[in-house]
Amino acid sequence: MPVLVWSDHDGALGNSIRTGRRVSLSAEEFRPEAEDLDRALDDLLDMAWHALTVITKREKGKPRFNSFEQAWALGRAVFVSEILRHPAMQGEERGFLWQALAPKAWYGIRHDASRDSRWRGLIPARAKKWQAKPKDATAYRFMEIGYWLRDQQLQDAGEVFGWKYSNAYDLYHCASLRSIELRQVALDWIRWQKPVVKETFNKATGFRIFQQALQKRFPARGPGSALLPQHYPPDELRAIVFETLDAARDLHFAQIADAAP
């Protein structure tokens, strides 16, 4: 996908074209397509921003952004806008889209070079690696995770990850646990739990306990990695996940009880 990537050097705006396609001289030959895409990204960012304003809590009149919600809003907007079906995107890696979106939102530059600083709210404040390493795919992990979260409604996704971006990051990090089927079953399991379990689950350390149990049951590599959650029939997956998480929960709380004076 040829994309137009904006830059802002002390107020001086510039842009360049990036593509994974074979070029005869330079990527500039794809500029018309890239500019067309850039126009479509304006609408996408507007849509994401409006969604974020609806879901973000406010304190003393000021929005209090949550990284998890920021990532979800942007990922969902990418999905709903069907921007990946844009002709410019055919046969190209998704990473180029993130390379275009991140600076465009951060610097708030519309296709006609007018500014819209609100979009900066869509980028988590801590996600700055892309500024230092704009071509490093891992620098755009927050966008990749947001796009991954698109399959679930915000409320459902929030419950699964305790509204914590770090929890989503941890689960995404394990490639075998990325399927929507697993997240749906995990959600069912959480809803059955007592508040004390839910509370533990929502904390980063607690979440990791359950994540590790699942990772052990569905390893990403080596023996046992051939059948991942999405490969099981729904009932069987539900039984496996419930059994795994129940065992992890019981072990964890038994250890706490043992440690208590």
Partner 1 sequence: MQFTNTSTNMVQAISNIINGYKMGAMRALAQEPVQNALDAKRKGTPKVVVEYRLLWRSMATGEPCYMLTVTDSGTVGLRGDMVTTEELERRDHKLLPEENWAAFEAQGYTKESEDALGSRGQGKAAFLYHSHVPGPTRRMLMLYDTLLESDEYRLGMRFARPVDQTMDPPLVDEKARAMVRSDLFRVNDELAIPLKLKPLRKIGTRIIVPFLDEADVRETKPYGELSRWLQRCWWRAIQLDKLEIRIVDDTTGQTEVIAVPAWWRDLPRIKGKPSTDGSWCDLPDGGRSCVWGNLPLEDGHKVRRLVLLHSDAILEDEISKEPEWSGIQLLRHSQWIETYGAREEYGDLIPAEKRAGFRGYVEFAKHTESALRHHEVENSQHDRFNRRKKIISDIRNLLTERVRDFSHEMGWKEAVSTSQQTASQRDKDTYMRFLKTFLNPNGRKPKPGQGKGEPDGKQLIWDLRLDLGYPDPKSARVDWGQAIRNVYVEVSVEPGEELIGSADLVLEWVDATGESTNIIRKEATIGNSWGEDSIQAQFQLGDWQIHRGHAERERVINCPNPGEYRLRAAVEYHGERVKSAARTIYVQTKPPLPPEKNPITLSISAVNADDGEKRRIDHGEVLHIEFKSRNRMPDTATVYLNATFCDEVFARGMPVDLAGTPAGDTSTPYPILTVKCQLLDPLQSANLLIADTLVLKMPESSGTFRIRADLLDAQGNRIANSSKPVYFQRDPSRAKNELPFEIRQESQQKEMWKLNRDLTELTYPGDYPLRKELPDVRRQNHLLQGKNAFIAEISANGLLEWALRPKQENGDDSNYDQLRDSIGNPDDPKWEPYIRRLEKTGQRSNRIRA
Residues that bind partner 1 in the complex, under the rule CB under 8 A: 20, 84-85, 89-94, 179, 221-228, 230-234, 236
Nearer to partner 1, 128 or 135 (CB): 135
**Residue 79 CB, nearest distance to partner 1 (Å)?**
12
Nearer to partner 1, 30 or 232 (CB): 232
**Residue 92 CB, nearest distance to partner 1 (Å)?**
7
Residues paired with residue 115 on neighbouring β-strands, in sequence order: 109
Report helix, strand or coil for 261.
Answer: coil
Beta strand 12-18 with 57-59: parallel, antiparallel or unpaired?
Answer: unpaired
Nearer to partner 1, 60 or 221 (CB): 221
Nearer to partner 1, 26 or 90 (CB): 90
Helices (H), 108-233: 129-132, 141-148, 154-161, 165-173, 180-192, 195-202, 204-217
Other Cβ atoms closer than 10 A to 91: 7
DSSP code for 26: -
Vertex 203 angle, CA 219 and 173, to 5°: 30
**Residue 204 CB, nearest distance to partner 1 (Å)?**
25
**Residue 230 CB, nearest distance to partner 1 (Å)?**
5
Nearer to partner 1, 214 or 240 (CB): 240
**Residue 181 CB, nearest distance to partner 1 (Å)?**
9
Dist. CA 141–CA 241, nearest whole Å: 27
